[in-house]
A and B are shown apart, each in its own frame.
Chain A
Amino acid sequence: MSPIARRGAVLAVLTIIILVVAGAAGAAAHPLGNFTVNTYSGLRVGPDRLDVDHVVDLAEIPTFQTRQAIDTDRDDRVADAEAGRWRDRECRRLAAGLEARVNGRAARLAVTGSALRFPEGVGGLPTLRLECALSTPCPPAPGP
C-alpha cells in the first residue's frame, strides 16, 4: 500500500483554526486583538504514525487569566515548577480533547513533548504559547 493511499485512510477529526503569524512580533503578534485565543493543529502523517503539533497561543488578557491559574501558590510569580506542572497537565488535557481517527478507529493521542513560553506582547505584558507534540501509531490499513 502506498503512503498516499495510507494517507487517505487516515481521518483526523480535529477542530482546526490555522493562524500562522510567522515572524510577527510585538503589537502585531495578535492580529485579531489583545483578547484572542488561537489554536493550531499541524498534522504529519508518517508511514507508521500520526504526529500532531498542537499549539495554543493566548493574547495578553487570556494569558493574564491563565497565569493566575498556573500560579498555584499565589505569590504573583510563575515559577518554573508551576509552569512545568501546568504545561504537562494542559497538554494531556488537550490531547484527550482532540479526537483522532485512524482507519475509522478512534486513536489515543499520547503526549511526546511539550513547551511553554511567555513571549512579550503589547505593553510589555506576557503572552502565552503552549506547544504540545502529540502522536499515535498508525497500524497498517487492512490490505485490499
Chain B
Amino acid sequence: MVAGLQADLGRRPDDPRLLTRLGVAYVTRARETADPSFYAKAAGVLERATRLAPGDADTMVARGLLGLARHDFRSALAWGTRAAEANPDLPDARGVVFDAQVELGRYAAAVATAQAMVDAKPTQGSLARVSYARELHGDPAGAVAAMVQAAAAGGGSPTDQAYVQTLIGNLHLGAGRLGPAEAAYRRAVAGQPGYGLAEVGLARVAAARGDLAGAARRLEPVATALPLPATVALLGDVRAAAGDRAAAASQYRLVRVIERLNKANGVAVDLELARFEADHASDRGADPGRVVAMARQALAERPTIYAEDTLGWALRQAGRPAQALPHARAAVRLGTRDALLWYHLAAVEADLGRTAAARRHLAEAFAINPYLPVRDRQHALALAGRLDLPVPRTPVGDRRRIDRSCGLGRPFACASGIPDRRPGRTSSR
C-alpha cells in the first residue's frame, strides 16, 4: 500500500489525492505496527496535501485521523468539524468528530454526533460509536447489541471486522463473561490471523481464568510484533502475578521507553503514562508527585472520566485520598460499568475511613466484573478482606445472559432512541 503510493507519487509528486492517501496509509501503518515514526511522515505529506488543495474534505479527515492517533484531540476535532462542513455526506468526518469529542470529555456533544451519524446511516462506523456512547453511559447490554449490529452491518475491511469482533470481546470481558469474550476474540483471529488486539483479549481471558502461563505465551509474540504500551505492561503484570518480578520490571522499563519514543514522535502520552506510573507508585525510583503533576496536565488537556480516574488514582497512590475523592467520584459520573473505576473509588473511600461507601462501591466493582484486570485483582481482594466484604467466587460468571431486547430483532429501534444519558448514577456519599 505505502510502497505503491510512493511509486505513484514519484510520477505525480504534486497530486494532493495521492498525498492524502499516502498520509492515511502511514497512519494505518503506525497503527498496525505500533511504530510512531510513521506519524512524522504522515504529517509531512498531509501538510503538503493541504497546501496543494486547501478545501479538500478527505485531506481534512486524514489530518483529523492523524490528530486522533497522536492524541491531539483538539486538532482532530477542528479538522473533523471542518471536513463535515466541507462535505456533510462524508461519514468519516463525523466519526473523527465523535472520537475527538469523547476523548475531550464532551460526552453530550459526542452522543449527539453518534445519534446524527446513525440516523444518517446505520453503518459499521456509526453503530460502533453508538455502542461506545452506550458503554460510557452505563448501558453495557445496549453497547453489546449495537456492536453486534456493527459487525453485521459489515462494509469495513477485514481488519475493521476483526476490530469490531475484538470490541465485542472487550465488552463481554468487561462484564466478566469469559466464554462469550473468548468466542468473539476467536472470531476476530479467524478472520484476521494473528490479529494483535484479539490475541491480547485471549490473553486477558486466560489471565482471568488463572492461566498465567497461557496468557504470557499469547502475549509474548504480540508484545514483540505490536509493542503497544498497554500490551507490554500487561505482559509485565502477568509476569508479576506469576512471581517473576525481574521479568516484570523489564517489561515495565520497556513501557517507559516506548512512551518516550511516542512522545518524541509527537504523540501526547501524559494520560497513558500517568495511568501507568500511578499503578507503579511503589516501584523503585517512582516519583508520586511527578505522576500527580502529569495526571493533572492530562486532565486539563483531556477532561474525560478516565483522566479523572487517573488523577484520582495518582493522588491516592501519593497518599492524598482527600484530594483524590472528587476525581474518583467524577470518574463514575456517567455511570460507566467499568469495574476498575468503582474499585478505585472504593479504595479512596476506604483510605478516608468511609467504610460503608467503600464497601458498597467495591461490591459494585465485583458485581460488574468479578475478575478485574490481573494487576488489580489481588489488591481488590485484599481491600475486600479489610472491609469485611464477602468476595465473589469467581470463575463462574460465564453464564450470565446479556439482554438483547434492544437490538437484534428490531434493528435500529434502539439506535434511534439512544444513547440516553443516565443522570444521578454517581457515587452515593
Report A49 CB to chain B, min CB distance, Å.
39
Within residues 238 to 287 of chain B, which ones have a CB less than 8 A from any CB in chain A? 246, 250, 253-254, 257-258, 260-261, 263-265
Residues of chain A lying within 8 A (CB to CB) of residue B40 = 27
B254 contacts A34, C-beta separation under 8 Å: no
B35 interface residue (CB < 8 Å to A): yes
Q: Are A61 and B227 in contact (CB under 8 A)?
A: yes
Q: Say yes or no: A35-B254 contact (C-beta < 8 A), given A61-B261, A122-B264, A123-B260.
A: no
B219 nearest CB across to chain A (Å)? 15
Interface status of A105 (Cβ within 8 A of chain B): no
B192 contacts the other chain (Cβ, under 8 Å)? Answer: no
A38 to chain B, nearest CB (A): 14
**Which residues of chain A come closer than 8 Å to B38, judged between CB atoms?**
33
- What's the nearest-Cβ distance from chain A to residue B248, in Å? 13
Q: Which residues of B contact A68 (CB under 8 A)?
A: 250, 253
Q: Does A118 contact B (CB under 8 A)?
A: no
- B residues near A30, Cβ cutoff 8 Å: 37
Query: How far is it, in angstroms, between the C-alpha of A60 and the C-alpha of B258 when the chains are bound?
Result: 9
Are B227 and A35 touching (Cβ within 8 A)? yes
Q: For residue A78, give the distance in angstroms from its CB to the closest CB of chain B.
A: 13
B246 touches A35 (CB 8 A): no
Over the window 46-89 of chain A, the binary record of Cβ atoms lying under 8 Å from chain B Cβ atoms (1 yes, 0 no) is: 00000000000000110011001000001010000000000000
Q: Is B36 part of the contact surface with A, judged by Cβ < 8 Å?
A: yes
Q: Is B33 an interface residue (CB 8 A)?
A: yes
Closest to A68 in B: B250
Q: A123 — which chain B residues lie within 8 A by C-beta?
A: 260-261, 263-265
Interface size on A, residues (CB 8 A): 16
In the complex, what distance in Å separates the CA atom of A105 from the CA atom of B33? 42
- Chain B interface size, as a band, is 10 to 19
Q: A76 to B284, alpha carbons, bound, how many Å?
A: 12
CA A62 to CA B194, docked complex, whole Å: 21
Residue-by-residue, is B212-230 near A (CB-CB < 8 Å gives 1, otherwise 0)? 0000000000000001000
- Closest Cβ of chain A to B257, distance in Å, is 5
Distance between Cα atoms of A43 and B293 in the complex (Å): 54
**A125 contacts B by Cβ under 8 Å:** yes
Interface centre among B254, B257, B263 (most CB of A within 10 A): B257
Task: Tell me whether chain A's interface is mostly helix, strand or loop, or mixed.
Answer: helix
Closest-CB distance, A28 to chain B (whole angstroms): 10
A34:B250 contact, CB within 8 angstroms: no
Using CB atoms, name the residue of chain B closest to A59: B37
**Which of A34, A64, A125 is the one whose CB lies under 8 Å from B36?**
A34
Interchain CB contact under 8 A, A65 and B254 = yes
Residues in A whose Cβ lies below 8 Å from that of B37:
27, 30, 33-34, 122
- The smallest beta-carbon distance between A61 and chain B, in angstroms, is 6
In the complex the two chains form, is A61's CB within 8 Å of B258's CB? yes
A142 to B93, CA, bound (A): 73
Assembly CA distance A124 to B265 (angstroms): 12
Which A residue's beta carbon lies closest to that of B246? Answer: A74
CB distance from A82 to the nearest CB of B (A): 16
Q: How far is the CA of A76 from the CA of B246 in the complex (A)?
A: 12
The residues of A that contact B227 with a CB separation of less than 8 Å are 35, 61
Q: Contacts A61-B227, A61-B261, A125-B260 known; A33 to B35 CB distance under 8 Å?
A: yes
Contact pattern, A 110-140, Cβ under 8 Å of B = 1, otherwise 0: 0000000000001111000000000000000
A125 x B253 contact (CB < 8 A): no
Chain B: minimal CB distance from A52 (Å) = 29
Closest to A122 in B: B264
CA distance A30 to B265 in the complex (A): 13
B35 touches A64 (CB 8 A): no
Complex Cα spacing A122 to B260, Å: 9
Are A60 and B253 neighbours in the complex by a CB distance under 8 Å? no
**Distance (Å) between the CB of B310 and the closest chain A CB?**
22
B264 contacts which chain A residues (CB < 8 A)?
27, 122-125
Q: Give the complex CA separation of A125 and B253 in angstroms.
A: 13
Interface residues in chain B, defined as those with a beta carbon under 8 Å from any beta carbon in chain A: 33, 35-38, 40, 227, 246, 250, 253-254, 257-258, 260-261, 263-265
- Add 8 more A-B contacts to A27-B37, A125-B261 (CB < 8 A): A34-B36, A34-B265, A60-B257, A64-B253, A76-B253, A122-B261, A123-B260, A124-B264
Chain A interface residues (CB < 8 Å from chain B): 27, 30, 33-35, 60-61, 64-65, 68, 74, 76, 122-125
9 contacts between A and B (CB under 8 A): A27-B264, A33-B37, A35-B33, A60-B257, A61-B227, A61-B261, A68-B253, A122-B261, A125-B260
